[in-house]
Amino acid sequence: MTINHGFHATIPAQPGKGDALVALLLEAPALHHDDCLVFLVARSASNPDLVFVTEGWTSREAHGRFFESDIARTYTARFAPLVGGESTYVDAVPVGGKAPLG
């Protein structure tokens, strides 16, 4: 499958909630969706409440359909209270590289 849509998000957690936000992101239902080909979670080394997500999807439409689903809406309802400010998104289509699994 080819990645045709993606983004990189910078998400500030509520103060002291970085661990909880990372844990929830690592349970994201997108991780098990066939059209989600890349889902990486990272955090700032200097600010534990600053979290990053990189996603790659087969298409913008597949991403949109997924986020209109009940499972995604239920998930984002759990996600929202942990976010402590405005998230920023940039379009980014992953094209290769390496990521440790764990």
Global pTM? Answer: 0.90
Bridge partners (DSSP) of residue 56 are 6, 38
Roughly what angle, to the nearest 10 degrees, separates helices 18-25 and 70-79? 170
What amino acid is encoded at 16 in this protein? G
At 63-79, the pLDDT tens digits run 999 999 999 999 999 98
Q: Which residues, 6 or more positions from 23, have their beta carbon under 8 angstroms from its beta carbon?
A: none
pLDDT at 43: 96
At 33-69, the pLDDT tens digits run 999 999 999 999 999 999 999 999 999 999 999 999 9
CA 85 to CA 26: how far, in whole Å? 20
CATH 3.30.70.100 fits 5-91, yes or no: yes
Please indicate whether residue 97 or residue 100 has the higher confidence score (pLDDT): 97
Mapping DSSP to helix (H, G, I), strand (E, B) and coil, where does residue 10 land?
strand
Q: Which residues, 6 or more positions from 68, have their beta carbon under 8 angstroms from its beta carbon?
A: none
Mapping DSSP to helix (H, G, I), strand (E, B) and coil, where does residue 57 land?
strand
CA 33 to CA 27: how far, in whole Å? 12
CA 9 to CA 74: how far, in whole Å? 20
